Structure 1
Amino acid sequence: MADELILYTNPQSRGRIARWMLEEVGATYRVEVLDYASTMKGDTYLAINPMGKVPAIVHGGKVVTECAAICAYLAEAFPDAGLAPLPQERADYYRWLFYAAGPVEQATTNNFAKFESGEQSRMFGYGNYDLVVDVLDGLLSSRAYVTGDRFTAADVYLGSQIGWTTLFGMLPKRDSFLAYLERVQSREAYKRAWALDDADAEAQKAAEPA
């Protein structure tokens, strides 16, 4: 079908972000679960995403990769879900969506890998890890969601980032982070998406050779 929507994912990956967003917008979609060792690096998938990474979506024959882009795209493609920014929310929406995709992602992964920018901090967009954490804490201490009092697609991405990084000790469990996670993870779409990914993970594990 020309307007078919396909999610390429692995349940043990950032693909969970895209699945959550798909559940939020209420889209009808088909799932292709890939494994890291073979199908994710196979020619068929590399023709979709040459990076050989998930998630990716194909909608109406067009490919979207990168989780923040997928969230923003789906919010616009399915406007009835009400997850795209209102005119007065656009500045905060885009600012903090890309803050999460840039400084937060880079700072937390570099810090986890024991990489420190040190005297070269001016060369890195995020400056240093502690600054990134403090800025994020300041944001979530001042409002319920990225744009204020209303949940948007930016919260799917930021909520996923904070959930993942606090789980693995990449972000400290500050009160503002934990309160924010409680709000976003209580959503029915999050619970549905998580259950679907857990089921796919179990099926994938069961299919592995004994």
Structure 2
Amino acid sequence: MAIQDEIVLYYSPQTRATGTRILLEELGAPYRLHVLNMKAGENRAPAYLQVNPLGKVPAIRHGDALVTEQVAITIYLADLFPQAGLAPAIGDPLRGPYLRWIAFYGSCFEPAVTDRSMQREPAPASRSAYGTYEDVIGLLEAQLKRGPYLLGARYTAADVLWAVALHWTMMFGLVPNGSAFADYVKRVAARPSFAKVGEEDAALAAEHEAAAAVRPAS
């Protein structure tokens, strides 16, 4: 398998896969989209369940490698294109913090905001994956205040992951629209890759909505 092999991104607009597509743009990676209309249930079709049995996006195929889970995909892609400089190399003092904040997203932030959105109490502290929602938000806010990026002056793939997540969670009121969060998202989202993917996502989402509206009832 060569690095230059085209990457297939299993994709649906305005989902977690959006961040992966932005990252591919940032990396200058060769890729093509395998678009799934989730409003039509294409992510639950047998063909896609062979790719990801959970029926979730994103997933990528690169040669013989199939990678699911947003955090794993972020690490895989940024390491695959070291020339883009979006992943501190092994041995770089920033490598540990970089991995920490990517893992923190999946293991703490996602379950915390999910519980928040469902108005569920977290598990007792001895069994909670993240402690409390306030703990998670406070730790993240303190880190972002150091700015301008998650790791200070260095922009990395972790910023793509977090900026997309904070954009959506602030929009739905799951994260407070404080200056540390809002300024960070505005700064990262000003990059051309975010505008390009955002515009194309909006058009594709509209197509999916229209297709779902005319789909015959089963």
Q: After TM superposition, is the score higher than 0.5?
A: yes
Alignment match of 1:43 (pick from 28, 34, 46)? 46
- Deviation, structure 1 residue 209: 4.5
Alpha-carbon distance change, 207 to 95 in structure 1, aligned in 2, over 3 angstroms: same
Q: CA separation in 2, counterparts of 1:142 and 1:12?
A: 29
Q: CA separation in 1, counterparts of 2:210 and 2:69?
A: 29
Partner of 2:69: 66
- Deviation, structure 1 residue 207: 3.0
| Correspondence 1:112 to 2:117 | yes
- Deviation, structure 1 residue 83: 0.6
- How large is the RMSD of aligned CA atoms in angstroms? 1.7
| Correspondence 1:56 to 2:56 | no
CA contact (8 A) 1:141 1:176 kept: yes
Alignment match of 1:6 (pick from 8, 17, 21)? 8
Report sequence identity in percent.
40
Partner of 1:24: 26
Alignment match of 2:166 (pick from 162, 166, 172)? 162
Alignment match of 2:157 (pick from 136, 153, 157)? 153
Partner of 1:83: 86
* Runs of 5+ unmatched residues, structure 2: none
Q: CA separation in 2, counterparts of 1:129 and 1:43?
A: 36
Deviations 1:9-49 (A, max 9, x none): 11131111111111111112111111224321111111111
Deviations 1:61-89 (A, max 9, x none): 31111112111111111112111114121
Deviations 1:87-108 (A, max 9, x none): 1211210111111121111111
Partner of 2:135: 131
Q: Secondary structure at the match of 1:145?
A: coil
CA contact (8 A) 1:75 1:84 kept: yes
**Corresponding letter in the other structure for 2:179:** D
- Deviation, structure 1 residue 189: 1.2
Range that drifts further, 85-94 or 180-189: 85-94
- Deviation, structure 1 residue 204: 2.0
Q: CA separation in 1, counterparts of 2:198 and 2:132?
A: 32
CA contact (8 A) 1:105 1:161 kept: no
Q: CA separation in 2, counterparts of 1:167 and 1:122?
A: 31
Deviations 1:110-132 (A, max 9, x none): 011011126x1221121111111
